[in-house]
Amino acid sequence: MAPLSLPKFDFNFNKLKLPFIQRQHLTVGLDIGSHAVKVCELAENGRGLKLLSLGSARLPAEAVEDGELKDPAAVAGVIKNLLANLQIKGKKVGISISGYSVILKKINLAVMNEKALEDHIQSEAEQYIPFDLSDVYLDYQDLKTNKEDEDRTDVMLVAAKKDVVNAYLQMLRSVGLKTVLVDVDAFALENSFETNCGQEGNVVLVDIGSSKMNINIVSKGASLFARDVALGSRQLTEQIQGRFDLDFEEAESLKIGVSAPEEKQAELEEIFVSTTTQWIMEIKKAIDFYSTNFPDTPLAKIVISGGGSKIKGLDQYFREETGLPVEIFNPFATTRIDPNRIDPDYLKSIAPEMAISVGLASRPCPF
Ligand SMILES: Nc1ncnc2c1ncn2[C@@H]1O[C@H](COP(=O)(O)OP(=O)(O)OP(=O)(O)O)[C@@H](O)[C@H]1O
Ligand SMILES: [Mg+2]
């Protein structure tokens, strides 16, 4: 079998290592979602992270679907304008992928040294990955879950379809950007959380985007459970659209509370309850899986992010349903911010959906 086919990229599991003195070059984090592109630029100079710029721009409908670029020219145009408006000069970007084209698989193997593990993965990956190996970029990390007296460990395998990844690289090249890092949404989210909160407790991270919800249970820097579910805030818009016979934009405004006339309140409430009930069912399934497999270490909390996490009262609803503390994630909690440069109200309003872009932007630029 061919050696790792993506040597220059990094499904970057490596944790951020901060240097003590010199300024470190970080990648520009570009989170290309199905609803919007989010960009974040951070700097690191030995005193921690500083926010240089951030922003978000809507994408045309269906330009990105299920993690795949459907209209590269349209997405390229949006990214080009966004970076120009924010005056971001950095050309080295980090992106993350999700959806059907990425497979995350945890496998349990005998403990072996790095070389033996690499050889084993190269020769055995076929049995774990439901794609032809020549069609995927493959990466892995030994999670080192073995205790002293055990001779087996968990290894996280990541396979991403080359054609889907290559389409992103090509689209970004077309606007003069160089992709130096390709991550997976779940791990970028985890990095964002750990950059801000360290590796405290066992935590359920839930990013609720427009068309997918990413659930990632993390413990001490390792992901114990990661799953994308095809549910998200767009479901609400579509139902509002259907119920009140509105166009997409009108329904979107109604959803986010820009306009919500009194007579529609009861029906809106019904839509919100039925949809968020589906979300909580998925979260409970993940929690049940965790409790069955790790009965000795209880979960500390749920941390929610993504545009969908901004639904009023969602945190409280999740708290009531799970009995766990629930926080809305602030990915800038430990970042230095210059209020003359970045409007605090804007930052506050946009922070939850910036989670993944911050996870990408806090990665050191690998080359
Ligand atoms: N206050 C709000 N209440 C409910 N939904 C909201 C609110 N604000 C934004 N949203 C929704 O959040 C979604 C955008 O969030 P986000 O940017 O995290 O999604 P995305 O990353 O583009 O999508 P995905 O990750 O699913 O591909 C949209 O559906 C938007 O309507
Ligand atoms: Mg997203």
* Minimum mean pLDDT range among 175-179, 248-252, 303-307, 362-366: 362-366
Instruction: For residue 16, tell me if it sits in a domain.
Output: no
Task: Find the 42 Cα to ligand 2 centroid distance in Å.
Answer: 19
Total domains in the fold of the chain: 1
HEC string of the chain equals CCCCCCCCCCCCCCCCCCCCCCCECECEEEEECCCEEEEEEEEECCCCEEEEEEEEEECCCCCEECCEECCHHHHHHHHHHHHHHCCCCCCEEEEEECCCCEEEEEEEEECCCHHHHHHHHHHHHHHCCCCCHHHEEEEEEECCCCCCCCCEEEEEEEEEEHHHHHHHHHHHHCCCCEEEEEEEHHHHHHHHHHHHHCCCCEEEEEEECCCCEEEEEEECCEEEEEEEECCCCHHHHHHHHHHHCCCHHHHHHHHCCCCCCHHHHHHHHHHHHHHHHHHHHHHHHHHHHHHHHCCCCCCCEEEEECHHHHCCCHHHHHHHHHCCCEEECCCCCCCECCCCCCCHHHHHHHHHHHHHHHHHHCCECCC
Residue 276 beta carbon below 6 angstroms from any ligand 1 atom: no
Output the residue whose Cα is nearest ligand 1's atom 5.
308
Q: Are 28 and 89 in contact (CB under 8 A)?
A: no
Residue 331 beta carbon below 6 angstroms from any ligand 1 atom: no
Say whether pLDDT at 5 is over 50: no
Q: Which domain holds residue 56?
A: 28-361
Q: pLDDT tens digit string along 115-131? A: 999 999 988 889 999 89
Question: Relative to the CA of 234, which ligand 1 atom is closest?
Answer: 29
Instruction: For residue 293, tell me if it sits in a domain.
Output: yes
Question: Relative to the CA of 306, which ligand 1 atom is closest?
Answer: 18
Say whether pLDDT at 17 is over 70: no
Return the pLDDT at 23. Answer: 54
Instruction: For residue 294, tell me if it sits in a domain.
Output: yes
Return the pLDDT at 198. Answer: 86
Across the chain, what does the average pLDDT equal?
90
Return the pLDDT at 222. Answer: 83
**Mean pLDDT, residues 70-93:** 97
Q: What angle is formed at CA 366 by the lines to CA 102 and CA 116, rounded to 5 degrees?
A: 65
Q: Burial of 254 by CB count in 10 Å (0-12 exposed, 13-18 middle, 19+ buried)?
A: buried
Ligand (nearest to CA of 64): 1
Q: Which residues lie closer than 8 Å to 362 by C-beta, 6 or more apart?
A: 16, 26, 29, 42, 44, 49, 191, 192, 195
Tell me if the pTM is above 0.85: yes
Pairing of strands 213-219, 178-184: unpaired
Identify the CA nearest to 353 among candidates 185, 217, 101: 185
Q: Are 171 and 163 in contact (CB under 8 A)?
A: no
Instruction: For residue 164, tell me if it sits in a domain.
Output: yes
Q: pLDDT tens digit string along 127-156? A: 999 899 999 999 998 888 887 778 999 898
Calculate helix-pair angle for 162-173, 72-85, nearest 10 degrees: 50
Instruction: For residue 128, tell me if it sits in a domain.
Output: yes
Phi then psi for residue 314, to 5 deg, are -65, -40
Q: Which residues lie closer than 8 Å to 123 by C-beta, 6 or more apart?
A: 1
Residue 161 beta carbon below 6 angstroms from any ligand 1 atom: no
Q: pLDDT tens digit string along 225-283? A: 899 999 999 999 999 999 999 999 999 999 998 666 788 889 999 999 999 999 999 99
Q: How confident is the model at residue 11 (pLDDT cuts 50, 70, 90)?
A: low
Instruction: For residue 20, tell me if it sits in a domain.
Output: no
Task: Find the 183 Cα to ligand 2 centroid distance in Å.
Answer: 13
CA distance 158 to 151: 23
Residue 209 beta carbon below 6 angstroms from any ligand 1 atom: yes
Q: What would you measure as the largest C-alpha separation in the chain, in angstroms?
A: 66
Say whether pLDDT at 106 is over 70: yes
Task: Find the 81 Cα to ligand 2 centroid distance in Å.
Answer: 20
Task: Find the 168 Cα to ligand 1 centroid distance in Å.
Answer: 21
Question: Relative to the CA of 185, which ligand 1 atom is closest?
Answer: 25
Q: pLDDT tens digit string along 318-348? A: 999 999 999 999 999 999 999 999 999 999 9
Q: Are 28 and 79 in contact (CB under 8 A)?
A: no
| CATH number for the domain harbouring residue 137 | 3.30.420.40
Instruction: For residue 367, tell me if it sits in a domain.
Output: no
CA distance 327 to 343: 23
**Hey, what are 134's tokens?**
């020549």
Task: Find the 211 Cα to ligand 1 centroid distance in Å.
Answer: 8
CA distance 251 to 236: 9
| Sole residue written with tokens 């990466």 | 139
Say whether pLDDT at 196 is over 50: yes
